[in-house]
Structure 1
Amino acid sequence: MKKTAFLSLVTASILMAGGYKIPETSTNSVALGGANVAHTKNADAAYDNPANMIFMEDAQHIEADLMYVGLSSTNFKGTYAKTLTGAEELNSEKQTFILPSLHYVSPKLGENGVRVGLSITVPAGLSRQWEEGSAKLVSQEFTLKIVEVSPSVAYKITDTLAFAFGFRAVHTNGVVKSSESAIVNASPLATSYISRDLEGSSLDFGYNLALAYHPTKALELAATYRSNVNLTVEGSAVLSSTAALGGAIPAGSYSGEASVSIPLPATLMLAGAYTFEKTKTTVELVYEKTYWSAYKSLDFEYDGSLTNPVLIAAFDNPKPKNWKDTNTFRLGITQELDRVTLRAGAIYDNTPTPESTLNFESPGSNAYSFSFGGRYQIDDKIDVGLSALYSIKKDRTVTTPTNINGLDGTFSNSRALLVSAGLGYKF
């Protein structure tokens, strides 16, 4: 149970369908629903498609963004077989977060016009809290913070084709807590109360590749690939168990090292954008493949002093996940006016979580998202932007014995609101 909590944390996207990944890392990206891969003119190109830095205006570009994330209260109606409490109606806690990001693109360097970019973003993370009933046993609190630093270099291959590569330095910090939890043994019927408190962190590395091809002034094509990063989280854990039924289940405790490896999955994006010159309207379509199948199980490791059978059963056995690769489809529309640029987007996103392993910490389901925003050019150097995205997860019903965690019921009312404000400057 503890393992499940921590990993789901690392991989879930702010209550959207796609696990724990957050693809919208700038004001423009929020406005377009992430459909700003082929057509990018601002400093956030350093993250979304660094190859496009070659085609940007020859100047230094910098942008700072601040994003508000609001998560609704997810509702569950049904039963959790491991507690034998019968039918319940539970609600997770509403939560809000503030996520900053920073993007920079250099001017052209050298005769070949090489450009360098840097992005500091929050590309993934999750926090979910259940303070009621059975859900509290599994996931009272999951909090995961991920910060990525992404330097990149772009090269011009021809006047219409550019290539970029970069590195991913990903820092992870996570907390998993639960108050006393009940384990029910059918024979003999007994309950042992256990608690868990885990904190860990890691610094891990990957890479990213990007292509930008502009065969005509109106048509822009792009492909990007961000590698898998295994988050090798290491930290400390405190586990404890009380005796039950006169010692039929032994008491015990553990305080020591804990570690786990969790995948931040690879992502492939293929995008095409077309600009209608007369109206200055750009339409972009993006296909995104996320390789969530790398998340096969959640297995925490402890040192050799963990010997209590109750704690081993609860926390030291691998938890199968068996997530699947997902497809996401993004549509973005950009309308340029005199000093104002308007943007809108729509997303359809698959969930990677199969019914068999779904649990309270990551009740994923397919989602629809809609977005809108704009930027205002104050003068030749400064612009400001504001955007919002609203995500609606479909209700999802799970049943036993299909669900190995013992869930039988429906998750509903999962929503997320993103609001981002940005300030851009070029010099």
Structure 2
Amino acid sequence: MKNIILLLILSSSLFAGGYKIPETSLNSVALGAATVAHASGADAAYYNPANMVFMKNEAVMEANLIYIGLSDVNYKSDTADIDSKKENFFVPSLHYVSGDVNGARFGLSIVSPAGLSKRWEDAPAIYSAEEFTLKTVEINPTVALAIGDKVAVALGLRAIYSDGVVKSTSPIASRDMSGDSIDFGYNLALSYKPTAELDLALTYRSKVDLSIEGDAALFYRDMTNAFGGGAGAAYSSTSSASVSAPVPALLNVAVAYTLPSDTTLEFVYERNFWHSYGELDFNYGGGVNAVTNIVFGAPIAKNWKDTDAFRFGVTQKLDKLTLMGGLVIDESPVPNSTMGFELPDSDSVSVSFGTKYQINESLNIGLAALYSMREDRAVSNSSLNGEFSNSNVLIISSAIEYKF
């Protein structure tokens, strides 16, 4: 259960608006995930599996290790000036595209599509978000087929495993939750290559409803009827717990054009359907006291909005060297009215660059980096009246690509 909350709320503080992680490969880090229409490496299995049909008839695999560094976010108000903990993570990923198999191409990606962590040590942040930690693994097999010489389609299955922790502590209440889940969705892709230089693509990843189940330890001290400085009635509960929330649907429309200089320019319009995240509703087992259940079981309004992201990438192929760069403009789906310490999200601009070197016909190595600069955000709602700042992110990717 903590998993779900963690996933839903925490991961968005990392890379993109909401709680998704778009960068799961060397090319995606180097190009700011503008690797859809012209995807031509092993990571095409994830970003545009339809393009597998147009790749050279050979198997290709990429093993990738991504470092993610989160700055210590500052929150300042009239009564507080606190910082979250700095976070450092190493996230592996794997992408594979098969050779031709009776006219079809098969792909497999193993990635972390969302998560990471946000931890606070000081009040008032610990009252609601002492820790939000999420780990996710997505296994995404895909298959692609050609329709004539210029069109290809693909279908994939999304299987997402999530595991996480949610903790909060206040003078009168605390919550310590953990849980996990396996949930499923699908993805579709369409590629059209009207000329050798022009690539057009449309991809869609379905919504996945996370149905987390786990355990929760809850404590609440009811001060309603406390008199003369009394401590009030205390309730401690341990029970099963469950919660459901969506990983929203995602639509990409992309176009890429390759110039005679072997320079490829790509633009991706991304639509994230965050409106499906209307509320976060926790459910507990019979062991939870009725008063405690009212405190912790009431649905939490989110009311997130659909958002747009604009991704620009440029790739320059030389002899054995490939140079890449990217720019991302991304919106936050979190409205002012429901923003909290668990996800101090804001609009962002990201810049990226990377390089790949061909050692021989079978082996490539690469290195890439992305830096996301998030806007300072003033928040005034029923629980917060202050400003978040310094919520920037650094991503570094190293990869080995092998063709066989």
TM range (shorter): over 0.9
Equivalent residue for 1:293, pick from 263, 275, 289: 275
- TM-aligned CA deviation for residue 8 of structure 1: 5.2
Alignment-mate amino acid for residue 120 of structure 1: I
**Contact 2:106–2:144 (8 Å) recurs in 1:** yes
TM-score, reference length from structure 2: 0.96
SS at match of 2:337: coil
Superimposed CA distance per residue, residues 322-380 of structure 1 (whole angstroms, 9 cap, x where no aligned partner): 00011000000000000000000000000000000000001111000000001000000
Matches within 5 A, 1:248-327: 249-277=232-260, 279-309=261-291, 311-327=292-308
Alignment-mate amino acid for residue 138 of structure 1: S
SS at match of 1:103: strand
1:390 lines up with 2:367 in the alignment: no
> Percent same amino acid among aligned pairs?
51
Partner of 1:407: 384
- TM-aligned CA deviation for residue 62 of structure 1: 0.6
1:25 lines up with 2:24 in the alignment: yes
- TM-aligned CA deviation for residue 90 of structure 1: 1.0
1:107 lines up with 2:99 in the alignment: yes
1:130 lines up with 2:120 in the alignment: yes
Partner of 1:142: 132
SS at match of 1:300: strand
TM-score, reference length from structure 1: 0.91
Distance 2:221 2:90 in 1: 39
Distance 2:66 2:99 in 1: 27
SS at match of 1:262: strand
Superimposed CA distance per residue, residues 195-250 of structure 1 (whole angstroms, 9 cap, x where no aligned partner): 21110000000000001111001000001000000010000011123465455742
Distance 2:114 2:222 in 1: 39
Distance 1:215 1:17 in 2: 32
Alignment-mate amino acid for residue 34 of structure 2: A
Distance 1:13 1:415 in 2: 12
**Contact 1:59–1:426 (8 Å) recurs in 2:** yes
Alignment-mate amino acid for residue 214 of structure 1: K
**Contact 2:316–2:322 (8 Å) recurs in 1:** yes
Distance 1:354 1:308 in 2: 31
Partner of 2:328: 347
Partner of 1:222: 201
Distance 2:164 2:174 in 1: 17
**Contact 2:274–2:305 (8 Å) recurs in 1:** yes
Moved more, 14-23 or 30-39: 14-23
Distance 1:367 1:262 in 2: 24
Partner of 1:10: 8
- TM-aligned CA deviation for residue 10 of structure 1: 2.8
Distance 2:222 2:163 in 1: 33
Which aligned runs of 4 or more in structure 1 are off by greater than 6 angstroms? none
SS at match of 1:46: helix
Distance 1:304 1:116 in 2: 47
- TM-aligned CA deviation for residue 14 of structure 1: 4.7
Distance 1:203 1:9 in 2: 13
Distance 1:322 1:242 in 2: 30
Partner of 1:82: none
**Contact 1:16–1:393 (8 Å) recurs in 2:** no
**Contact 2:13–2:344 (8 Å) recurs in 1:** no
Partner of 1:210: 189
1:171 lines up with 2:161 in the alignment: yes
SS at match of 1:133: coil
- The number of residues matched between the two structures is 399
Partner of 1:69: 68
Distance 2:216 2:62 in 1: 39
SS at match of 1:150: strand
**Contact 2:353–2:369 (8 Å) recurs in 1:** yes
Distance 1:17 1:35 in 2: 13
- TM-aligned CA deviation for residue 398 of structure 1: 1.3
Distance 2:204 2:107 in 1: 16
Alignment-mate amino acid for residue 419 of structure 1: I
Structure 2: unaligned runs, 5 residues or longer: none
- TM-aligned CA deviation for residue 315 of structure 1: 1.1
- In structure 2, the CA distance between the partners of 1:201 and 1:225, relative to structure 1 (3 Å rule), is same
**Contact 2:245–2:277 (8 Å) recurs in 1:** yes
- TM-aligned CA deviation for residue 17 of structure 1: 4.2
Distance 1:317 1:249 in 2: 22
SS at match of 1:13: helix
**Contact 2:5–2:132 (8 Å) recurs in 1:** no
- In structure 2, the CA distance between the partners of 1:6 and 1:103, relative to structure 1 (3 Å rule), is closer
Distance 1:97 1:349 in 2: 22
Alignment-mate amino acid for residue 241 of structure 1: Y
Distance 1:213 1:142 in 2: 42
1:93 lines up with 2:85 in the alignment: yes
1:54 lines up with 2:53 in the alignment: yes
